Each structure stands twice: as structure tokens, then as C-alpha cells.
A = this chain, B = another copy of it.
Amino acid sequence: MSIDTTCVNAIRVLAADAIQKAKSGHPGLPLGSAAMAYELWGHHMKHNAKDPKWADRDRFVLSGGHGSMLLYSLLHLYGYGGLSLDDLKEFRQLGSKTPGHPEYGHTIGVEATTGPLGAGMAMAVGMAIAERHLAATFNKPGYEIVDHYTYALGGDCCLMEGISSEAFSLAGSLGLSKLIVLYDSNNITIEGSTDLAFTENVQGRMKAFGWQTLEVEDGNDLEAIGLAIEAAKADHEHPSFITVHTQIGYGCPAKQGKASAHGEPLGEENVKALKENLGWPEPDKSFIVPDEVYAHYKELAAQGESAEEKWQKLFADYSAKFPEDRAKWDTFHSDVDAKAIWDNESYWQVEDKPQATRSLSGQMLNRLKDMIPQLIGGSADLAPSNKTHMNDEADFSKNNYAGRNMHFGIRELAMAGIANGMSLHGGMRPYVATFFVFSDYTKPMVRLAALMKLPITYVFTHDSIGVGEDGPTHEPIEQLAMFRALPNFNTFRPADGLETAAGWYLAVTSKETPTGLILTRQNLPQLAGSDREGALKGAYVISEAKDAQNMDGILIASGSEVSLAIDTQAELAKSGLDVRVVSMPSMDLFRQQPAEYRESVLPNAVRARVAVEALAGFGWGDYVGLDGAVVCMPGFGASGKGPELFKHFGFTVERVTEVAKNVIARNKK
């Protein structure tokens, strides 16, 4: 048996052993695609286990994240992050370095958290976009300091998900020729044969998307796999899609080719049979790796070290020859200078006239774009409505990868997944946009961003029934609650220009929390009490009661309803009722404040509290408690003029005043 084959089998055996030990996991993919992964990592991919963050490494995304043991085996065999045999033995155990699905930031060498199917494909597209943008921005003739491939590996699962169609169609349109996808095609899914629901011609679809398509008949033919990867690299106009025909659970006589190989341990006997079948030493024992295997992987790893050495030399020369570009490079790869923005008075200027927060957001974006040259993004075909266009900047397109205005097409989910990939790649701060109601489409990928701690900015405009005539399909109701409940996500709904500026400041200076800016379609007044520091604490007193020590109650609102609350405060004053108004752009930020600050804004003793928000009331109980009330949407919206809808659904000074009076009276009893 060749050393290559033995090294392939080492991946299989480690995967089978670890899954068996954990009594949980998915052996089907690692066994089936061990050969293609080995060939790719060993003979084509540029990577250095000793420097997993090397900027110009090739990226590898295991889109079928359930096959995590494929990745962990490789990381162990290459020596990434000291991932030991003991770590593999702890597969899927609490606190281990080898969780059930690969987790970015948790295990060194994992480029992206995967598991939600199809996600890895979109993230790979995002990485390939990042590579092209940085190459166009930084490379000089003879100094191709950004020049790497992005590889993704996934199965039928990833191909059936709509996100991959969205992402692949865009990748084809953009001609991302340094993107190479390996399709582990085994005709098996959990419910059985793909004939049940997936008889399409996948290669035909990929060709239609503008990809080069290649095919490997035998998933264990290392030479054929290698030739296909070389052919993929040789195409400088199209991304490449390599269908590799495999057998799920290959090597395990009782399981290979069957759905049962997918998602459960093979069983003690079958693991032994696998080892015997593969001619593995000591088939009765677990986690046996011959020395020659480690030795060979060490040789392979050494190639990566030399590759990086060569690049470091090139980069040093580049830095010497182009010091300004090197400085810009450092800016791109560093956190945003928060103080510079904070101290930049012109950034915080707001014209005192009614404006929609989406328009104000567009202004802030255009003020930030020169301060943050690594800011790049766009919309899912709604830029004119989302106000996300950066003026005087070019479009990112097949013909100009240096452009910063991206056009994602009407593909919200892939857009969000691509943003994840761009952020994961490094060297850029992506923002993306759509109508708030269509944040529903983005949700699975926004969740991944929060989980991976990627500080992406989501510009979600048209944030309530203020949408007006487009009606209930376009009017968000429950979306605020959806994002407020999401961990590690800052939902920020500003009330005016200054709060909008604070929102963008929060978003671009965030280090590991994504931010959703929730913005109006309609104009809002600029508020006298608006305060950036207060806004960044999540909530603050925007209009104080006359006698704060003895106030009758508190009105709490966010975004477009803050001015309504302030108007209600004035109306209540006519009846001798003295209330405080709290602007709460972000429950997430407020929750993180010290107890004293929270008490200072919402004193525990004041129970007559009314929240006003033209969306679902769910969740406001956390702030108004059992003695307060919420003026909110009772259900879905309707089609009509925005101001008429506000009136129709009771967002008027009269109604909020009435509710507040009742609450105050009830609490005085």
C-alpha cells in the first residue's frame, strides 16, 4: 500500500475511532471524502500548520460540518494548534477542542463554523470575494501578496439548500476563478437515496451558473482528484466545481453506500471490520497511527512552511518598496480607530430637520467610508431604498474587484453568508442590507455571525408599519424580538440622527458582536435630548420628568416611537402627570450596564411604565413588568399611508396618553 493511501486511511480510522468513542457523530462523510481531502491538503493547498492565521493561506471550508472528524483528523495529523490524539478522544465532549461541528474561534485551523447546511458554500464565496478585493486593492506587478484559493467541500446536503444556489449564481456572475468547490457526491441522504427528492443534473446547474465543471469518477483516485484540482486552478475566468463520486462510509463493509453510515457510530464490530478491510495495524485497538503516517504528514507540512517563508520574504520586500500600501494594509487588518471617530466632530453633525433614519444612516456611512477604507458592502438589490451606496466608490464587479459597492442580487440569505465569509477572511469590515422584514431570510446566517463573533453590520430599513402602502408582507412585526433574543447580537433602533450616528459608531467599532441597525423609511424629527453616550448604553433619559424624585411614571420607546413618547409626556403634563421618557435603542446594550445605571434610568420603585413600539410587544414585559403596559402592534400590519396606519393601530398621543393615565392610576391605588 502506498504511503498516500495509508495517510488517507489514517483519516478514516481516526474518524471512525473518535465517533465510536463518543458514541455520537457522522462517519459517512469523513470515510467517503478522506481521499479528496488528503489530496487537496497534501498536494495542492497552501497552508502552514505553524501559522494558521497566515494572511495568504488558502482557505478551506468544510461545508458539510457534520463531517467534522475529517477536519479534526487533518488538523491533528498536520499538527495544527497542538490538536492531540487525546483531543480527538474527547470528540463531542463538553469543553473539548473537538466539538460536534467545527467551531471557528474554538479550534485552531477551523476557518468557519459549519453545520447549518449550505452555509459553508456561501461563506467560501465570501472568502473568495475578499481575496479578489484585497488582491485588487494591494497587489502590485511582481508583488502578488494576495493570491490564494478558497476551497469548499460539501455533499448533496449543501447542494440542495437554496443558499448555495444563490451564492454560486453570484460567484459565477463575478467570475471568482480562485474558488474551487469539491462536491462529495454519494447519492445518499438521511432519508435514503437522493432519487427521493434530488434527481437534478447538478453539473448542468453549475454550468448554467457560469462555473467550470469537472468530474472524478472514483473518489479514491488520488491522481484523478489531483488532475481535477489542477484543471480548476488553470481556469482563470470561472469558479470550478468538481464532482467527486464517492461512497458514503467507504471502507466499512456493512455500512458503505448506505444512509445508516451518515449520522451514527459504525459500531465496535464495524470499526474493526473497517480497519481490517483497510489493512490497518492492530484492528482491535483504537487511535493507532503508524509513525510513518506522522512522518509523511510532517513532510507535507514542511511544504507549507516553505511556502509561507517565501511569501514573508515577498511581503517584506513589498513593505519596503510600498510603505504607504503597507500602512494601508495594516489599517485593513486592524480594529477600527474608535477614538478617531468619536472625536471627529463632523461625523456627529446632524442637520436639524425631519429625516428618515435610513437617510441618516446613508449619510453616516458616507462619512465613515474614508475613515474606514476596509468598509465594503451593499444590499440585496435594495441599495436605493436602504441608502447603502457609498458615493464616488466603484461597483464591485467581475471587471473591478477593487470596487467597494457590492451588488448581491435578490439573495438575502447568501448575502448574509457571504458577509460572514468576507469577515472570516480578514482584512475587511462588511455591511449588508435589506428591508427589515426580509431579515427573516438572512436569519440563519446572522445567527452564525453572532455565534462566530463576527462584527458585521446589518442595515435593516423600513422598520415598522411606517413602510405604509407595501402592506403586511413588507411590515416587520416580530423581527425585533427575533434579534433581541439572539445572543451576542446588538439590535439597535435609533430615534434620530445622533442616535443613528451612535449606531454606526457601535457597529464599526464592535470587535466581536454583529450589529443590526433598525431604521425607518419615514422622516423623524431630531430630538433635543438625544445623546450619543446614552444611546450607546442602550437606554437613557431623553426627556426628564419635571420632578424626577417624584415622577408619576416612565414612558419607554425606541426609534420612531420616541418622539411620540415625548409628545405624550407633554400631553400628560397638561393633566398634571409628570413622566420621564426613556429612549431605548438597544435592549442588548442596556442589559450589559451596571445595575446602578439601569436603576438610574428605570428606578425599581417606579412601576407605572408604558412601552411604545410599533412592532410586536413581546419582550417588553422585561421592562414594564406586570404593572405596566405596552402600546404595540396587535397583529400584522396593513396596506395604507404610513401616517394613517400609525393612527389606525393606535400610535397616537391620544391613545398613549390614555394608556399611560390608566397605568398611572392603577399604580397609585
Contacts and interface: CB of A to CB of B under 8 A. Distances in A.
A420 interface: no
B100 A470 contact: yes
A200 B189 contact: no
A331 interface: no
Contacts of A410: 117-118, 156-157, 160-161, 189
A471 B101 contact: yes
B469 A413 contact: no
A44 interface: no
Nearest to A445: B440
Contacts of A618: 481, 484-485, 619, 622
Interface string A182-215: 0000000111101111111111110111100000
Interface centre among A103, A173, A447, A618 (most CB of B within 10 A): A618
A527 interface: no
A200 B191 contact: no
A173 B197 contact: yes
A196 to B, nearest CB: 4
Nearest to A468: B24
A445 to B, nearest CB: 9
Number of this chain's copies in the assembly equals: 2
Interface in A485-544: 485-488
Contact of A407 (B191, B201, B443, B447): B191
A635 interface: yes
Contact of A101 (B379, B474, B620, B641): B474
B471 A103 contact: yes
Nearest to A450: B636
A151 B481 CA distance: 36
A469 B92 contact: yes
A139 interface: no
Contact of A485 (B163, B203, B619): B619
A423 interface: no
A296 B668 CA distance: 70
Given A621-B619, A623-B621, A409 B189 contact: yes
A468 B94 CA distance: 9
A435 B172 CA distance: 31
B451 A379 contact: no
Interface in A382-415: 382-385, 395, 397, 407-414
A226 interface: no
Nearest to A622: B621
A586 to B, nearest CB: 13
Interface in A614-644: 616, 618-623, 625-627, 633-636, 638-641, 644
B101 A639 contact: yes
A381 interface: yes
Contacts of A623: 621
Interface stretch (A108-116, A333-341, A367-375): A108-116
A148 interface: no
Contact of A204 (B208, B397, B451, B470): B208
Contacts of A22: 469
A555 B458 CA distance: 38
A65 interface: yes
Interface centre among A174, A384, A488 (most CB of B within 10 A): A384
A478 interface: yes
B645 A473 contact: no
Nearest to A169: B200
Interface in A71-87: none
A592 interface: no
Contact of A208 (B96, B205, B620): B205
A478 B474 contact: no
Given A487-B616, A625-B626, 5 more contacts: A96-B639, A160-B166, A162-B162, A447-B478, A478-B482
A-B pairs with the 4 shortest C-beta distances?
A162-B162, A94-B640, A621-B622, A204-B208
